[in-house]
Structure 1
Amino acid sequence: MAVAVIAAVAIFNLPRTPYQEPVAEESEEVSALDVKVDEAVAIIQSGEGAPMAAIGMLLDVLREDPNHEKALMWLGNFSMMSGQWDKAVDRFHQLSQLHPENEMYTLNKAQALLQTGDTTKALEVANEYINTYPDADRVKDLAEGL
């Protein structure tokens, strides 16, 4: 009887809901930064509003989180679209360091390097990536075309 009472008390005190990881405050900050990036991109893509103000919003995100992937990616893309190749190289270099497995970041970095006239460095970047990720078809195609 005592065993049954102890078992009943133990079962009664078990949690009734599954364990959930506590949500970190950082995730709220990151999502707020993501929202800011999305707003900036919408301004630029819509053609409404001041594009430089939107770029300023993206730069504000990087001041808060210098490695914010989405902000870096869009700044790199917009740099390429506006012919600011050195800035594009810097953005995609940072992204390729943060996410070395992402083929698109390396591809964009190599293409921006080509636009700056640095074919040797572009080929070096492409070959380093191919050595690590031999199935990288897009980077491989770029390297073969050089």
Structure 2
Amino acid sequence: MTKTQLFLVLGAAVLVVILFQLPRSVVENEQLQEVTQTESHSMEIPQEVETQINELRRLVEDEENIDKKANFAHSLARRYLDYGVVDSAARVAEDIDGWTNEPSELVADIYFTAYERSSGPEQAKKYAAEARAVLQELLDKDPTNHFLKNRLAMTLVVSENPMAGIGMLREILAQDETNRQAILNLGLLAIQSGQFERARERFENLVSMDAGDYEAKLYLAVSLMEINQQSQARLLLEEILATQDSIPAIKMMASDYLSGL
């Protein structure tokens, strides 16, 4: 299975869809490599989910309390995002923004996820820019929030100044060397750019921090396979399949990779 297939399947679980949008020129050692692009698409919405969407629309329309209204709207947008209907989700974000007088983490979350699940580079850049604007406002108020900073960094890697995003991730690690999301993001960027030894280091770090981090173990296995250490990769994949704790998408990918060894 190719790395593209890895990203497609795990993207359904909101793990690495963002990698579809990353230019391969964005790498930790600033080497330039060929740009590749993968597209994702919206999925058919089951009837029961349509029912949930209609009920959430009703709740949004009927609710007068702004905070509750925004929360219902955020839930509605997340339903859209679950099935790749990013433009509808973005319109909900615009509505929430119009109801509030200050930057909203709900709006930032919708735009960032829309960026992750965009169908192509232009749409991704559009929603990355929307997310970036809100995230920057939020960070201006709370500059130590590493969750928001990680997200801002990943929107910057598709901007005109991608190395600012890499620098921001490194800055997070300088302040918090065990920040999982920053390590994960840098590891994923290393995979995307073909720096598999560097990726291996990142994911080994995560696994040493938490032996139950099966997402990191899967990416570590992928990195090991790419540097021809199949026996070690096999052990990791078998471990992922043996546990009850790993999410289904990770197990599915572990099974697919194991069958290819």
- Tell me if both proteins adopt one fold, taking TM over 0.5 as the criterion: yes
> Higher mean Cα deviation, 70-79 or 32-41?
32-41
Instruction: Say which structure, 1 or 2, has more relative contact order (CA 8 Å, 6+ apart).
Output: 2
Q: Deviations over 1:85-132 (max 9, x none)?
A: 111111122223334434322211111111112112211222233334
Matched, 1:48 2:144: no
Structure 1 partner of 2:257: 142
- For residues 83-98 of structure 1, the aligned pairs below 5 Å read 83-98=194-209
* Partner residue of 2:241 out of 120, 126, 130: 130
Matched, 1:106 2:242: no
* SS of corresponding position for 1:83: coil
Larger Rg belongs to: 1
* SS of corresponding position for 2:145: helix
Matched, 1:66 2:66: no
User: Cα offset for 1:36?
Assistant: 2.1
Contact 2:157 2:164 in 1 (8 A): no
- Does the C-alpha gap of structure 1 residues 48 and 122 become closer, same or farther in structure 2, counting only changes over 3 Å? same
Q: Which has the higher helix share?
A: 1
* Percent of residue pairs bearing the same amino acid type: 27
Contact 2:218 2:240 in 1 (8 A): no
Matched, 1:38 2:151: yes
Contact 2:237 2:258 in 1 (8 A): yes
CA RMSD of aligned residues (A): 2.4
- Does the C-alpha gap of structure 1 residues 30 and 88 become closer, same or farther in structure 2, counting only changes over 3 Å? farther
Q: Distance in 2 between matches of 1:102 and 1:142?
A: 18
User: Cα offset for 1:31?
Assistant: 5.6
- Does the C-alpha gap of structure 1 residues 31 and 70 become closer, same or farther in structure 2, counting only changes over 3 Å? farther
Q: Distance in 2 between matches of 1:134 and 1:37?
A: 26
Contact 1:103 1:139 in 2 (8 A): no
Q: Distance in 2 between matches of 1:95 and 1:83?
A: 19
- Compute the TM-score of the two structures, normalised by the length of structure 2: 0.40
Contact 1:40 1:54 in 2 (8 A): yes
Detail structure 1 runs of 4+ shifted over 6 Å in the superposition. none
- Does the C-alpha gap of structure 1 residues 64 and 99 become closer, same or farther in structure 2, counting only changes over 3 Å? same
* Partner residue of 1:117 out of 225, 228, 239: 228
- Does the C-alpha gap of structure 1 residues 121 and 84 become closer, same or farther in structure 2, counting only changes over 3 Å? same
Structure 1 segments unaligned to the other structure (5+ residues)? 1-28
Matched, 1:78 2:193: no
Structure 2 segments unaligned to the other structure (5+ residues)? 1-141
Contact 1:106 1:139 in 2 (8 A): no
Amino acid at match of 1:58: L
